Amino acid sequence: MRLFKPAPAALILSFALTATAFGQTGEDLAHRDDFTMNAISGGDFRGYVSDAVVEDDIWGHSMRTLGVFHNHMHELMSEYARHAAEEMGSEHVPEFENRISGGEWTDYRRNLEDAGDTSAWADFVQVTEIMHDRVHHAMYTSALYDMKTRDRDVDLADYVGDRAPHDQADTIPERSDLAMDYASSDAFRLLVWDYDFEGERLHAAMQKMTVFDNMLSDLMTQWAFHGASKDDEACRPPEFDSRISGEQWSAYAERVADCDDETWRDLVRITELMHDRIHHMMHAVMIHDGGAHGRENEVKELLE
């Protein structure tokens, strides 16, 4: 059951009036309805990995990392939802138990739309919904790649059901056709570290966001090491050191167009979209935080 503690009226008004001074808002902001994606549920992904992925190698580790990454994402979204309910005084957050589901987050976004909310926070909720979907898209694609390349004695359809009805080619837009705001890992971390808002759920959520970003980097690096072992040079990532950066992964997504392994090619491109949407989400919550705590200039400097 959701706990609800009403916020002072002045605080609610300050959140409601917060507007994005820069970046995408309103009609310019991407919406879930703009995309089609294939998916697998978190429970079914966990079941597939537990049943089929037994190898103690970099690929096997990456699949287990992705499962934990997904669970942490829902913990993170739950922390943001509780911030909205308990500290912003929002009545639009649906009740949920321990963790908010993707469907409950969609209900939240719809509730804000129905209420005509055009705040920076509503933008954040909208971007987060797309981010969530893209993570599940990557989970499905990684399981598909695993089944095809590891000769599994399972049928992925038994786990996916009707959640992946689309041709994969129809689910992957060109990155150049998308408009996304972006916050770097360093900018986000500095904002979290350099401001004392102890006791707020927003702080806890943003701290969890830094962990989420580090897990994303770990996952991408594990996949990059796996890709580096491929025979086809076009399927391999560009050179990187101990960790692959977002910029290097974007370069990977460009060169992988000539890779002869279709499912791996799809996973690399979907991972780029997932990475960029996560950093778009980080940008959106930084904008909200700047307006809510009167530090718009500090946020603007970090994002420049």
- With helix as H, strand as E and coil as C, how does 180-249 read? CCCCCHHHHHHHHHCCCCCCCHHHHHHHHHHHHHHHHHHHHHHHHHHHHCCCCHHHCCCCCCCCCCHHHH
Residue-wise pLDDT tens digits, 124-173: 999 999 999 999 999 999 999 999 999 999 999 999 999 999 999 999 99
How far apart are alpha carbons 216 and 71 in whole angstroms?
A: 13
Q: What integer pLDDT is reported at residue 10 of this predicted model?
A: 31
| Residue 284: its H or E element | helix 262-292
Q: What integer pLDDT is reported at residue 194 of this predicted model?
A: 82
Q: What is the pTM of this model?
A: 0.91
- Taking residues 240-257, report their average pLDDT: 97
Total residues belonging to the chain: 304
Q: What integer pLDDT is reported at residue 222 of this predicted model?
A: 98
Residue-wise pLDDT tens digits, 39-80: 999 999 999 999 999 999 999 999 999 999 999 999 999 999
Centre a 10 Å sphere on the Cβ of residue 286 and count the other Cβ atoms it contains: 27
Q: What integer pLDDT is reported at residue 4 of this predicted model?
A: 28
